[in-house]
Amino acid sequence: MSTIKSTTKDPIKLLSDESIFSTSNQVLGVRGNFSEGYGTHYKTIRGTYINGIFGEYEYCYGEKGYAFPDKGQIIVNLPDPQTVYVKVDDERIDLDHAQLKNVERTFDTKKGISKRVVTYETNKGYRFRIEETRLASLKYKEVFLLDYKVISENYAGALTVYSTLDAGVTNLQNDDDPRMSDVKEKLFDVTSISSDTKNITIQTKKTNFIVHVTMDHDKQMNYQLIDEMIVGSKNIRIEKGESFQFKKYVVYTSSKYHKELLSENDQVMSVIKEIDLYQIQKEMIKKAHIHDAITVYDEEINNIIHYNLYQLYTSGGSDEYSNIAAKGLSGEGYEGHYFWDTDIYMFLFFLLNNKDIAKNLLMYRYHTLNEAIIRARELGHKRGAKYPWRTIDGKEVSPYYPAGTAQYHINSAIAHSFIQYYHVTNDEEFIVTKGFQVLYETAIIYLEIGHFYQGQFHIHNVTGPDEYTAVVDNNYYTNKMAQHHMRFVIDFYQKHKKELKDLVDETVISEMIEASEKIVLPFDEGLKINAQDDRFLSKKRLDMTQIKKPMLLHYHPLSIYRAQVCKQADVVLAHYLLDDEPFDIMKNSVDYYEAITTHDSSLSKCVYSIMYSRTGNKEKAYSYFEEQLRMDIDNTLSNTHHGLHVANLGGTYLTVVSGFLGLRTNNVLSVRPYLPTAWPGYKVQLNYRDANIQFNITDTLEITTDQAIELSIYGKKETIDGTKQFHLQ
């Protein structure tokens, strides 16, 4: 079994379950709504999305500054394929006309399907059970399948089944949460609609994407148009205990991914109706090695880990021209934008388990480098590139610069993913021909924003990962990552001068050498910790038991900025990623910053888990692991209805692999594993420099490789060829 389950009828939990039971395939995502809807009883967020299909809207500033973005971008909610419902005695079976007796929902990650079984009892006492299975095809990225079955438990007579494709949809509107858009206008026009061909064509209003959607069924139906909705219906007669079942196929082709929309749409539809989509889905999942990446010898934990990794895998990365949104394809939180989340929190899973997707994610950054160069010029920099904090197409769309544009550290997050790729794959050709240009241009920006003062290199007026401390001088994380970034550029260039001589200015390399050697890395001698920035430790501390969370919804930014409080891991994140400070400093830092961190960001708890593993507090490491593991399942941040926290899904992989296994990828693959006391054992499989490696941790450490490979085990280099056992330390 690799399933998660829900039996809730609670309206708030039903709303978050729409995200949890969403189905996606890296390109197409459909939220897990009740197909029959909730009537007028409960709030719902119906959503269907294609990765990279976005609309634009004008920003309205109270006071606009120079080089502030003019336009916002938002993933478009596309024509809705989900609605199927039944009418009996002209009454629709939903919460307006019947009682919901029970709900059973499952998500099976080995089959790649979500399933819903619900029982309704009408006002006249008729009981019906609805069984519904959904699939977003991993092979045919255009395809959504809804397999519907209605069973009469005590009714005999006529009923009508309706199935619709509805273009009368808009994006979610939200006035209260700054993490959500409040776009009032519809983002697309319906350019054609036909009940004869059962298709709808739409065009986004300002971005001019074209999407063609076709619906069909494996049973004959009668079709009609009602406004912007195609309605298929079928009248049947049913006896007690009998059922009626049909499959609904919906195909989405778009100008982003297809050249001939109409013909390709029809071709896909003709193919999928003749094949076993369920069997193909299982085969695709097996090839993806999602379940092999981590195996925990505890069924409940294992199921949730596999769910998290499945949703991470299906959130994006299918091509070189799109990335992975903060909410994947499960909702409209953060408007479908791509952040640094991918590069820091998701990338390692793909790198060690599916290098093709990892390379796609890097190529997206490569293809959008020119936009980053343009943005650097807009910001007044004469050279270098500045990647956007929030984007879909590569343009900066973050309107609040203190927690957006000021986060220059995104350059080093992107660099970190290229550097990790190089260490894990040893693919020098890719770095020489593609990656180095990104690494070089993004490193130059630190020379632009930094300066020398009294013999040291300072970087002023930036925001680090902690967005509750904005526009500061010498943020430790930013400076430390910039140093690492520049040093890699220097070393790689010196190794490949011949191939890179036309790209590189030697004087720039000289500048980087001096800057990286003399960069300020704040340190407090009394506390023996790395200070978050020049002034952070001088700010007032708050009573953390009295604050309201999340703070950004309850306090003016200035009130937060004046306090010694962290939204998320900042210094501690640098210690995880680079792991090059003395042990006692890392231990002191994680203890100090934990006490003042709210974890209002979903990016935080996995990092604390990893660093408590690293510094020896296994109890806290596991406690943080449990919290981040169940963040969406238990809706612990109370906003899962906006979409899954995809970086946190990646955090599940990091807490196990970087935390419990202690894996690092700098120069040589190193591990320092231990066994959490709550587990009988666990297994991690990965690919490193074309070697398939399995780590099996029980009362001993057993490592198996399919070719000779050098690893560092607890700080000692070992060559493994076959199977070798070690004592756990």
Which amino acids are annotated catalytic?
467
Render 387-418 in DSSP notation, one character per residue: --SSBSSSS---S-GGGTTT-TTHHHHHHHHH
Are 43 and 145 spatial neighbours (Cβ–Cβ below 8 Å)?
Answer: no
311 secondary structure, DSSP code: H
CB under 8 A, 24+ apart: contacts of 222-227: 223/195, 223/196, 223/198, 224/195, 225/193, 225/194, 225/195, 227/168
Query: In this structure, which amino acid lies at residue 728?
Result: L
- Which residues, in sequence order, are CB contacts of 402 under 8 Å at separation 6+? 463, 470, 471, 557
- Cis check for the bond before 465: say yes or no (omega within 30 of 0): no
- Which residues, in sequence order, are CB contacts of 502 under 8 Å at separation 6+? none
- Which residues, in sequence order, are CB contacts of 654 under 8 Å at separation 6+? 345, 348, 349, 606, 607, 610
Rounded alpha-carbon distances, angstroms, from residue 186 to 37, 55, 60, 183: 21, 9, 18, 8
Q: Can you tell me which residue has the tokens 């009469």?
A: 152
What does residue 391 show for φ and ψ, rounded to 5 degrees?
-165, 165
201/118 Cα distance (integer angstroms): 33
Residue 373, SS3? helix
Strands 98-108 and 113-122: antiparallel
What does residue 461 show for φ and ψ, rounded to 5 degrees?
55, 55
Query: In this structure, which amino acid lies at residue 448?
Result: E
661/400 Cα distance (integer angstroms): 38
Helix or strand (DSSP H, E) at 383: none
Rounded alpha-carbon distances, angstroms, from residue 427 to 421, 493, 688, 726: 8, 15, 12, 30
718/527 Cα distance (integer angstroms): 37
The packing angle between helices 355-367 and 369-378, to 10°, is 40
243/156 Cα distance (integer angstroms): 11
Give how far the C-alpha of residue 605 lies from the chain's centroid of Cα atoms, to the nearest Å.
Answer: 16
